[in-house]
Chain A
Amino acid sequence: MALIHVSSPHTNRSGKAGHVMRQVILATLPGLAALCYYFGWGPLINVLFASGLALLFEAAVLKLRNRPLGFYLGDLSAVLTAFLLALALPPYIPWWVTTIGIFVAIVIAKQLYGGLGQNPFNPAMIAYALLLIAFPVEMTRWSAPETLLEGPLPGFGDSLAIIFGQLALPDGVTLATPLETFKHKGGLTGEELWASSTLLNNLEPWQAISLAYLLGGVYLLVRKVYTWHIPVSMLGSLLLIAGLFYAADPSNYAPPLFHLTVGATMLGAFFIATDPVTAATSNKGKLIFGASIGILVYLIRNWGNYPDAIAFAVLLMNLTAPFLDYYTRPRTYGHKQAERGIARK
């Protein structure tokens, strides 16, 4: 009878980091399904391809770093990164763009910093930002959703062929996103644009996808994978600032709900900004973190060069996370105020 000698506690809420990742991956599935419903097989192929690549790259780096493969691959963090990047990419992006993106995300943005938990920036967003800057053409070539398409969506085989460069994306298929449409409205006022654009009058696909992400996010909130602070403060601040500008000048600015439902707002709010590794950790810090992302998103969307801004906003706020944490330390029980620095001696 060998009795073991260990430190308390002796029981543990059964869960692993892998468990958290698995739940997050699970929560993206409604969004993925919605994407596939409206854009065809492309997103699914992208996600699977990216996941495979991510595991491959992760394994290679772990091998180089002399770490046990099974243990670290089992936490599924690489797969989650691949999911998030692939969901953010255009549905029929060429395979090599995805490959470069995953390489950057896994090898450079994550493993070079020491692996899971050590990276200061969200790996998927680093990769996304890099791809956006390096391959603007490929990254903005969104296909139209089925509802706006004259013909049928490409089949599974065709999708594969398109992604792997065997088939060109049919011309009629590409379409600007709602955000792009709004950004490049030229001299038109809001009303004129709304009246003239068929796209802006058929936003259901994007709204449905956003709703699917929201669903996943609520699931994660219920499962206590993260707290409400970041998504709520981010969506709230975006809503607020968009509402303010819309109320002041409705002809020039898009309505607040438009900002919430198009682009990667929901994906960002529930799956990207909430990445615990790179976000602020204190509750107050999370509120500031989320609200700042919301404001940055609005600012970049309206006055930046790029139509969408989730990646840049999140990365910018990742930079400030340690600072936020430092200045939002909670007051410890029995102490008058939170202490900062190590001056107490």
Chain B
Amino acid sequence: MEAILIAVLILLGVALVFGALLGFASIRFKVDGNPIVDQIDSLLPQTQCGQCGHPGCRPYAEAIANGEPINKCPPGGESTINALADLLDVEPLPLDAEHGEEQVKSVAFIREDECIGCTKCIQACPVDAILGAAKQMHTVIVSECTGCDLCVEPCPVDCIDMIPIETTLSTWSWAEPMPGVQLIATDRGRGADQQVNNDSDNHTDDSDQRGNAA
């Protein structure tokens, strides 16, 4: 009986000590804010395009921290998904096509002689990268444009184009070397199939675009 009592007392004592320790630690080493959200946010491309269904990158970062899938960011694409998967230690998923597809990096361009000065695009731009005033021609500050294309839809005269960013002498870099042997002969089966698939995909894309444009 006494032994049991002693055991219980000891356990109780231990529990108290550890409880006190933990309590102390929770106050002493309190982490302000939610650093994981900041970390996620720093990995997102900050285009603020809203394609993920959240009003900006930070809200999506918060949503990811709360368990939302990491594959809803088309501007970030595969690299962002991989980085997020790395950070959160989860499996990288393929990009969710529902939120759009990964596209070439581009910037908005206003065909200035068609602009009627409605300021709608200025209001739509999440990073204030469009300059202009009512009844005045608008223009895009290229260095600030994130290419989110949120300004394209509101334009009443469709005078905003998304122009892919071109490589210049200063941004050019060598491409990844072709895997030597695969180039000449190998993967004859697999490689060729992929090629064909890619081609056919491209074709369908093209025809879609043409259909829309017509």
Q: Are chains A and B native binding partners rather than an unrelated pairing?
A: yes
Q: Which residues of A contact B (CB under 8 A)?
A: 7, 66-68, 71-72
B185 and A68 within 8 A (CB)? yes
Is B174 an interface position by the 8 A CB rule?
yes
B178-199 interface code vs A (CB 8 A; 1 in, 0 out): 0001001111111000000000
CB nearest to B180 among chain A residues = A71
Residues of chain A within 8 A (CB-CB) of B186 are 66-68, 71
Return 16 A-B CB contacts under 8 Å, by A number: A7-B177, A66-B186, A66-B187, A66-B188, A66-B190, A67-B181, A67-B186, A67-B187, A68-B184, A68-B185, A68-B186, A68-B188, A71-B181, A71-B185, A71-B186, A72-B181
Name the 8 nearest CB pairs between A and B, nearest first: A68-B185, A68-B186, A66-B189, A67-B186, A71-B181, A66-B187, A66-B190, A7-B174
Q: Which residues of B contact A7 (CB under 8 A)?
A: 174, 177
Chain A residue numbers with a CB within 8 Å of B190 are: 66
State the Cβ distance, A15 to closest chain B Cβ, in Å.
15
CA distance A71 to B182 in the complex (A): 10
Q: Report the separation of the CA atoms of residues A71 and B189 in the bound assembly, to the nearest whole angstrom.
A: 16
Give me 17 other A-B pairs in contact (C-beta within 8 A), A68-B186, A71-B181 excluded: A7-B174, A7-B177, A66-B186, A66-B187, A66-B188, A66-B189, A66-B190, A67-B181, A67-B186, A67-B187, A68-B181, A68-B184, A68-B185, A71-B184, A71-B185, A71-B186, A72-B181
Q: Which of B174, B177, B184, B185 lies at the interface centre, i.e. has the most chain A CB atoms within 10 A of its CB?
A: B185
Q: In the docked arrangement, what's the CA distance between A131 and B55, Å? A: 65
Q: Write out the residue numbers on chain A whose beta carbons fall within 8 Å of the beta carbon of B187.
A: 66-67
Q: Chain A nearest CB: distance from B188 CB in Å?
A: 7
Instruction: Point out residues on B near A: beta carbons under 8 Å.
Output: 174, 177, 181, 184-190
Closest residue of chain A to B187 (Cβ to Cβ) is A66
For B188, the chain A residues whose CB sits under 8 A away are 66, 68
Compute how far the CA of A7 lies from the CA of B189 in the bound complex, rounded to whole angstroms. 29
Chain A residues lying within 8 Å of B185, measured Cβ to Cβ, are: 68, 71
Instruction: Output the nearest chain A residue to B185 by Cβ-Cβ distance.
Output: A68
B172 nearest CB across to chain A (Å): 13
Provide the residues of chain B in CB contact with A68, threshold 8 Å.
181, 184-186, 188
User: How far is A94 from B209 in the complex, measured between Cα atoms in Å?
Assistant: 68
Assembly CA distance A84 to B174 (angstroms):
41
Chain A proximity of B130: nearest CB distance (Å): 34
A244 to chain B, nearest CB (A): 48
Query: How far, in angstroms, from A7 to B180 measured CA to CA in the complex?
Result: 14
Contacts of A72 in B (CB 8 A): 181
Q: With A and B bound together, what is the CA distance between A66 and B182 in angstroms?
A: 10
Question: In the assembled complex, how far is the CB of residue B95 from the closest CB belonging to chain A, in whole angstroms?
Answer: 25
- The smallest beta-carbon distance between B176 and chain A, in angstroms, is 11
List chain A residues, Cβ under 8 A from B177: 7
A67 to B179, CA, bound (A): 13
Output the least CB separation between A115 and chain B (Å).
Answer: 11
- Residues from chain A with a CB closer than 8 A to the CB of B174 are 7
Q: How far is the CA of A67 from the CA of B177 in the complex (A)?
A: 19
Tell me the minimal C-beta distance from A41 to chain B in angstroms. Answer: 38
A69 nearest CB neighbor, chain B only: B185
CB-nearest residue of chain B to A67? B186
Q: How far apart are the CA atoms of A71 and B118 in the complex, in Å?
A: 64
B42 to chain A, nearest CB (A): 11
Cα A71 to Cα B184 with chains together (Å): 10
The distance from the CB of B185 to the nearest CB of chain A, in whole angstroms, is 4
How many Å lie between the Cα of A72 and that of B185 in the bound state? 11
Question: Distance (Å) between the CB of B133 and the closest chain A CB?
Answer: 43
On chain B, the residues within 8 Å of A67 by CB distance are 181, 186-187
Chain B neighbourhood of A71, CB < 8 A: 181, 184-186
Please, which residues of chain A bring their CB within 8 A of the CB of B181? 67-68, 71-72
Q: Which residue on chain A has the smallest CB distance to residue B177?
A: A7
Interface centre among B174, B177, B185, B186, by most chain A C-beta atoms within 10 angstroms, is B186
User: In the complex, what distance in Å separates the CA atom of A308 from the CA atom of B166?
Assistant: 65
In the bound complex, how far is the Cα of B174 from the Cα of A212, in angstroms?
48
Distance (Å) between the CB of A147 and the closest chain B CB?
A: 49
**Closest A residue by C-beta to B174:** A7
B89 to chain A, nearest CB (A): 15
Assembled-state Cα–Cα distance A27/B192 (Å): 41
Question: In the complex the two chains form, what is the Cα distance from A7 to B188 in whole Å?
Answer: 26
- Bound Cα distance from A109 to B55, whole angstroms: 53
Q: Give B102 Cβ to nearest chain A Cβ, in Å.
A: 25
Residue of B nearest to A62 (CB): B186
The residue in chain B whose Cβ has the minimal distance to the Cβ of A68 is B185
Determine the distance from Cα of A68 to Cα of B188 in the docked complex, in whole angstroms: 8
Min CB distance, B154 to chain A, in Å?
Answer: 39
Which of chain B's residues have a CB closer than 8 A to the CB of A66? 186-190
Question: Measured between C-beta atoms, what is the minimum distance from A48 to chain B in Å?
Answer: 28
A72 to B186 Cα, complex, angstroms: 10
Return A218 CB to nearest CB of chain B, in Å: 33
Distance in Å: Cβ of B193 to nearest Cβ of chain A: 10
